[in-house]
Chain A
Amino acid sequence: MNPTRQNPVTILLVDDDPDFLCQMELQLRNAGYAVTTAADCREAEAQLAQAPPDLAVLDLMMDHPDDGFALCYHIKKKNPATPVILVTAVTSETGLEFDAATEEEKSWIRADAMLNKPVRFEQLTREIERLLRK
């Protein structure tokens, strides 16, 4: 995706949907990113302790409906500069509209972007590249 980079960008992908996790991992690897995956918060914390990623893509609703928020909070507390993308099917699952549109919402949610599932790969990489350029 971005051949001028010296070292591949590392992305932490956290989602309890094994299909989404597997597909995004393959797609992102194919696009030249280095990817680590986790299927829940515990696994994600372990990954974070080992090697902080350049960017994180988190599912919002996993074992608990707000796991993504909690994880996002942890990442930002340790490394405020690490961009976080929250991915969620919350709109179709609960009927709640969720979007970090205003500055106030963003400061509260702390994620840098929110994407609604189903997420297209091109959409995800566009967001990733946009946030990495910042």
Chain B
Amino acid sequence: METLQILVVDDEPGMLTGVQRALRSLRLVLAEVQTEVDFTVETAASGELALERIEAHRPDILLLDHKLPGISGLDVLERIAARKSDILTIMITAYASLETAVTAIKQGAYDFLAKPFTPGELKATVHKAASNLVHTRQARKLAQEKRRIRFDVISVLVHELKAPLAAVEGYLSILRDGIAGEDPALQHKMIARCGERMDGMRKLIVDMLDLTRIESGQKARTLSRVDVAEIARKVMDNCQAAAAGRGINLMLTGPEILAMTADAGEIEIVLNNLVTNAIKYNRDGGRVEILLNQTDCRVTLAVRDTGIGLTEEEAARLFQDFVRIKKTETRNIPGSGLGLSIVKKIAYLYEGNVDVESQPGQGSTFTVTLHNEPEVHHH
């Protein structure tokens, strides 16, 4: 519900009360922008009073009589135009004077209404103006919001890239200036850190590209019958080395074959991100279980770990872009902060969702639920 303020300016008291009566109970439904609008109506008996009122109350719509005792309606219009407010003016012209109407429109009035008019004509004109006003404001708000989000994303991205860049630069200048001395082990350690930080940057850039492609619908999708179990085995193979390095056991539970209509690449990204996380945030010697399941028209991919777990507050923030949970246990774990955003966006492509259940210190289970189109049979 939005309430627009109307100011009626006329020197005829009968006119003011008439307009007030007609508009006070007016209630408009603007379906396209899902907004209901009602009105408060104020009055002014002269142009001078009108300008005072405008200054003090900032009305949204002005019903302005052309012929006023002091300064004229056109004078008022001129002064409003000079103030660059977004007030919409409907000029009321006496004697259906076309000339005045044209002048008013040229000076920035939104519409005009010729005296005498019926309550129905008045309401129709106000409806049009209100609709225009609400649309313009919503469009402006949306554009602002879009610019803000874009700015936020770019600021975060810049920050996330600046940090590793500064780290690599620092190591290079230390190596160049010979500050670290001649210890080859230390030099190797610094070179290795440069590599790690640059891997992180590359991962961030790739994830960012994936995310924007998915969000903007630019990513070409190839939907076909794929075997999710097969993809899961492939992901496990790819993650085996990282898991073995920390003594973590990877397991797969579920049907031998799980057919669904999907883009194989997307399913691989989802499983890969979840399994990589489950390894990264696990304890040494822990366990990662992939659980595949199929019901009528749903496929669930769950990944359970025995890692550090999440508090409720952490779990609530987890799926936002760039969010990484900062605590002692996560200090030295690299990540772009986009992995789960990508998982979530892909799940949405399948009318699905992603959820997390977790116990701090015990582990987490991430469950992705996807809608599975029943197989199309050709006859």
Which A residues are closer than 8 A to B by beta carbons? 16-20, 22-23, 26-27, 30, 39-40, 61, 63, 89, 92-93, 95, 117-118
Contact = CB atoms under 8 A, between A and B. Distances in A.
Contacts of A22: 190, 193
A116 to B, nearest CB: 12
Q: At the interface, is chain B mostly helix, strand, loop or mixed?
A: helix
Contact of A16 (B171, B174, B197, B331): B331
B25 interface: no
A26 B179 contact: yes
Given A19-B171, A23-B171, A26-B179, A118 B331 contact: no
B159 A26 contact: no
Given A26-B180, A89-B163, A92-B159, A19 B170 contact: yes
Interface in B301-336: 326-328, 331-332
Top 10 nearest A-B pairs (CB, nearest first) are A19-B167, A118-B166, A23-B170, A30-B179, A92-B159, A63-B328, A26-B180, A16-B331, A26-B179, A63-B327
11 contacts: A17-B163, A17-B167, A20-B167, A27-B174, A40-B328, A63-B326, A63-B327, A63-B331, A118-B162, A118-B163, A118-B166
Given A26-B179, A89-B163, A39 B174 contact: no
A63 B328 CA distance: 6
B296 to A, nearest CB: 45
A92 B110 CA distance: 45
A93 B162 contact: no
A93 B166 contact: no
Nearest to A95: B155
Interface in B139-174: 155, 159, 162-163, 166-167, 170-171, 174
